[in-house]
A = this chain, B = another copy of it.
Amino acid sequence: MVDMQIIFLGTSAAIPTWERGLSSIAIRRGNELLLFDTGEGMQRNYVRAGLRMNNKTKIFITHMHSDHCVGVLGLLQTMSLQGRQTAIDIYGHPRLAEFLQENIRIINFRLEFDVNIHVIYEEGIVVREKEYEVSCCEAHHSIPAYSYYIRELERPGIFNIDEAKRLGIPPGPLYNKLQHGEDITYNGNIIKSYQIAGPPQPGRKIGISGDTRPTDKLIDFFKDCDLLIFESTYEDEKYTKAIESFHSTATDAAIVAKKSHVKKLILTHFSARYKKVSNMIKEASAIYNNVEAAEDLKIVTIPYRSIYE
């Protein structure tokens, strides 16, 4: 398993404040970086966080409101000036493609690397890598919007070669069967896969809501997340405003977290009107007990899942 860290690069909704930049979340997984939204100015916290300019990087945009996407322009520019040569992959709605193509055409970016734009036309798995996948689900916002999760794939158990030798099993196809969960018969004895290979190791799952009202679909989508990062634009007293603007309250986020049986909830995307978010933590805690507030440059490490859970 590789280390996985979340770094919050921007945690304010719509308008930046003194302490909070516009929406952006980085997930560092081994040597790879996954960015979820790139609000204006996120490159400053990107640099402050010590994130590298030439890593393997994927960018996922939840929706095309300016406070979630404009910062990608400056990030691409800076990456290019810093000598990036590795292609970058960017995922989002059809409008994202238009936004990138038009701006790359109009502003002379002189990009030195390829920008691969992947248009997402429907929900489902967006990226399938060897060790993880990223999936998206329609959110419920004022314009088309996606929520995402990244989920590590289950890994085969650890192969106990000493035990295999002790039982006299010859290396080769039988080892392979045992490793992949298949029981075998050898010398008339049934040998169970779990005796040799141990149980498969579960992967971690991180959910990112983007801007949305809570929905049953999302509750299902975020099921069993190790960490759910959910937007929390308003306190309860602005519930009507949350509904009107297709945003969530801290309570809404907590309800999703509880129903989805996630292990931990982090609130983010706070309206600029709130100097402190302690009230939101209080409101959410009344419903769900493992909740924290994001802040710019906060780092959260995701522990490995125990195979005994």
Interface on A for B, CB 8 Å cutoff? 14-18, 21-22, 40-41, 43-44, 47-48, 64-67, 69-71, 73-74, 77-78, 81-82, 95, 98-99, 102-103, 106-109, 143
Contact = CB atoms under 8 A, between A and B. Distances in A.
A70 to B, nearest CB: 5
Given A16-B43, A40-B74, A74-B40, A99 B108 contact: no
Contacts of A102: 102-103, 106
Contacts of A43: 15-16, 40
Contacts of A78: 14-15
B40 A108 contact: no
Q: How many copies does the complex hold?
A: 2
Contact of A95 (B66, B81, B106, B143): B106
28 contacts: A14-B77, A15-B43, A16-B41, A16-B43, A18-B44, A21-B41, A40-B41, A40-B43, A41-B44, A64-B106, A64-B107, A65-B108, A66-B74, A66-B77, A66-B107, A67-B74, A67-B77, A69-B107, A70-B70, A70-B73, A95-B106, A95-B107, A99-B103, A99-B106, A99-B107, A102-B102, A102-B103, A102-B106
Contacts of A48: 18
A14 B106 contact: no
B18 A107 contact: no
A21 B98 CA distance: 27
Contacts of A16: 41, 43-44, 47, 74
